[in-house]
Amino acid sequence: MKPVKKYEDLNGLELDTIREIGSIGTGNAATALSSMLGCAVRIQMPEVRIMGYNEAIDWIGGPEIITAGVLVQMSGEVNGIMLSVQQMEFVNLVLQKMVGHTVENYEQLSDLDRSALVEVGNIMISTFINALSSLAGITTRLTVPAFAVDMQGAILTVPMVEFGGQSDYIMTIGANFICDGTAVPCRLLLSPDILSLNFLLKKLGVLDG
Amino acid sequence: MDNKLVVGIADMKMTRQDGMLITYALGSCIGVCLYDPTIRLAALVHIMLPLNMEAGRKSPMKYADTGISETLSQMEKQGGMRSRIVAKIAGGARMFDVGGSGSLGNIGQRNIESTHIVLRREGIRLLREDVGGSVARTLLFDAASGQACVRSYGKPELIF
């Protein structure tokens, strides 16, 4: 049996393939978001990042900032965690378009507001994963979305903890969205586990070695 | 307050006499404060997982078992005495309520249990704890007084 490649061992072709998965996934998610909000949505260049834990926290903008997070766990042929990290600007954009008002802070979120955010997150995540599944010809199951409003450091550590026994790094695949011409930071992040990532790359015929 | 020593994830820092240790945004992770009051030696470890099952054991501070025992032996090198060292812990929350019985939901709980077992095995007295629940915590630990402080979103600060 060939050895399992860790995140940090991936070569250029493999990373490009993952970036392409990210690009197709976020492209589909952007279309879904656009039809939900009724505005033009573009995506910035999708990124694949392999980061140490503390580096990842810095990258998302510091540990203590409060954000909303929608989390879906995927299992089956590919295991992983997908997160939609929704910062205030994005929250207000969604609320404005969907329920017709905005909030000043997360404490003002009503039950209706929360379900709107969960739904937007869930639809983007599901669209992303559906695109990935049909691209690679795999089947995955998704959990019901879970929602939390808390320090973003703690939200981001959820995928780290889940795969912490395998690696000292976290891999994120994702992009920011541009809605109605303004860049709105809504990060859609997929963290696959290492075995699933190897399986996926093999399925796509690019795993080397 | 401005010269705080920041303890990252899977990291440990130690200070003596004075100084403030801080670790941010503990979700299911646990911050373990270890303190020798006689010589005011304070250490703060930020652990992520209950048990170290890694082959190479490159990052002992990631796990409750190896993190706590490694910190205790480093404290002993600095003149700390096991019989005097006491502990305070915070963290172990459940950030997302995911349906089903995945490991995702109860990792915080497993971290709490493992931390308790390891402290008992090492003969360290657990003075206070603020664990479980569903909110993230930022933990501060003051070396001069041995006091710990927990900061959470939407809750008053807790000093213990």
Q: Do B25 and A69 touch (CB under 8 A)?
A: no
Instruction: Give the pLDDT of residue B100.
Output: 58
Q: What is the mean pLDDT of residues B60-77?
A: 94
Q: Which of A66, A155, A164 sits opposite B49 (nearest CB)?
A: A164
Q: Do B95 and A152 touch (CB under 8 A)?
A: no
Q: Which of B97, B107, B134 sits opposite A161 (nearest CB)?
A: B107
Instruction: Give the pLDDT of residue B105.
Output: 66
- B6 falls in which pLDDT band (50, 70, 90)? very high
- For residue B102, the SS3 value is coil
- Interface membership of A186 toward B (CB under 8 Å): no
- Residues of B with active-site annotation: 29
Of the listed ranges A154-163, B39-48, B52-61, the least confidently predicted one is: B52-61
Backbone torsions φ then ψ of A101, nearest 5 degrees = -150, 170
ipTM: 0.87
More confident residue, A175 or B70: B70
- B39 falls in which pLDDT band (50, 70, 90)? very high
Residues of A in contact with B53 (CB under 8 A): 165
Mean pLDDT split into 10-residue runs, chain A, 209 residues: 76 89 90 91 85 89 92 91 91 92 93 95 94 90 93 92 83 82 81 89 80
- Greatest C-alpha distance within chain B: 48
Q: Do A150 and B135 touch (CB under 8 A)?
A: yes
Instruction: Give the pLDDT of residue B3.
Output: 78
Residues 6+ apart with CB under 8 A from A141: A74, A75, A76
Give B93-133 pLDDT, tens digit per residue: 998 887 655 556 689 999 999 999 999 999 999 999 999 99
Tell which A residues from 31 to 90 touch B, by Cβ distance under 8 Å: 53-54, 57, 63-64, 66, 69, 71, 73, 75, 81
The distance of A81 to chain B (nearest Cα, Å) reads: 10
Distances (CA, A) of A60 to A95, A173, A197: 22, 13, 23
Residues of B in contact with A162 (CB under 8 A): 103-104, 107
Residue of A nearest to B61 (CA): A168
Indicate which of B63, B96, B98, B140 best probes the interface with A, i.e. most A CBs within 10 Å of its own CB.
B96
pLDDT at B139 over 80: yes
pLDDT at B2 over 80: no
Residue of A nearest to B11 (CA): A54
B2 CA to centre of own chain: 21
Q: What is the rounded average pLDDT for all residues in chain B?
A: 91
Q: Which of B26, B103, B104 sits opposite A154 (nearest CB)?
A: B26
Scan for tokens 């969604």, then name that residue. Answer: A94
Distances (CA, A) of B22 to A52, A63, A110, A194: 19, 12, 33, 31
Instruction: Give the pLDDT of residue B154.
Output: 84
